[in-house]
Structure 1
């Protein structure tokens, strides 16, 4: 599968690295290939490709949005035509003052993304934990896989993203339509408060059990 990344920092870089190692053709949208962030990504995995944002997105089957939330609009408007009709994995979270929801819980970040690029198939995923768990999703001392919850309006898009989630070592859990994104974003805030504020382990994740 051809995958492009808009954003390849703490979240995007490990996901891009692991997906490339799984055999996918992964391209970083790098208008400045000499940037420090691009160089760090290539130091992690020299097999990652670099291309201008429009080219990277145009040639991709799936696009990961892993920019800081406040950079989403500029990043997406740059590739608005190229991303049309494609699967867009929204890995971003709106975070406001004092770890509040950045959109005041009036709408989800996914809904905001969908407004910017209305003709894309947006799936919310890779948002409910910190970057440490994208570096390594293995929990060998347990007989269950960690769960990765995801949501979105388009069934086909969600099926594709679920395949990528499973390949990356997670148990995919479809929690519903796009309206569920706000709840996932609040789960992110819960995790951040537990870990970044209260000092719990950053390698704390959830699992799903079905009787």
Structure 2
């Protein structure tokens, strides 16, 4: 599939690089092709192409949003998605690694508000970028779990294909308001690893009778 990435920092690049190696075509969406993040991404994977954000959205079948959350409103407000799927990989993080929206609403619901003509699906959060570079845990007979949320069942089924390609089992947690709880799971992981020194090579898994 043809995938556009708005945001190509640690998280965006890890997902894009992984999916490019699985055979997907990657477009880096940036209105400044000379930006340091774009140059760094192309140096690491010259198979990526670059286009303006709106043109990348127009060309892509799926769009990934992997920007700092506070930039989302400004980036999204004038874009036209035409009903395309927008995968929200962002998290609103406030002071002290708290929820940046005071846990009153999920960041993904705000993204849906900023991009009303997109089908927003929360995915590729709950871990740091290290597990998007390499999701394999070969010592176990279960796959790492990727939890997703969204209001459109067909959109979530397509996002599940991306998740499977990256080596995850996917759990649909429900509608987009469930993204709030996925964001809290991200904060749990981030506090453990970035604040408290736990190693990043761990994931959640699903066991079901």
Could you tell me the TM-score, scaled by structure 1's length?
0.96
Residue equivalent to 2:101: 103
Q: What is the correspondence of 1:117-156 to structure 2 with a 5 Å cutoff? A: 117-156=115-154
The runs of 5 or more residues in structure 2 that have no matched partner are: none
Residue equivalent to 2:171: 173
Q: Does 1:41 align with 2:61?
A: no
Shift of 1:53: 1.0
Q: CA RMSD in A?
A: 1.0
1: distance between equivalents of 2:163 and 2:11?
A: 14
Shift of 1:144: 1.1
Moved over 4 A (4+): none
2: distance between equivalents of 1:43 and 1:145?
A: 31
Shift of 1:30: 2.2
Could you tell me the TM-score, scaled by structure 2's length?
0.97
The runs of 5 or more residues in structure 1 that have no matched partner are: none
1:161-181: CA deviations, max 9, x gaps? 001000110111111111211
Query: How many residues are matched?
Result: 209
Shift of 1:38: 0.8
2: distance between equivalents of 1:145 and 1:40?
A: 31
2: distance between equivalents of 1:205 and 1:107?
A: 25
Residue equivalent to 2:198: 200
1: distance between equivalents of 2:123 and 2:130?
A: 15
Residue equivalent to 1:115: 113
Shift of 1:194: 1.2
Residue equivalent to 2:2: 2
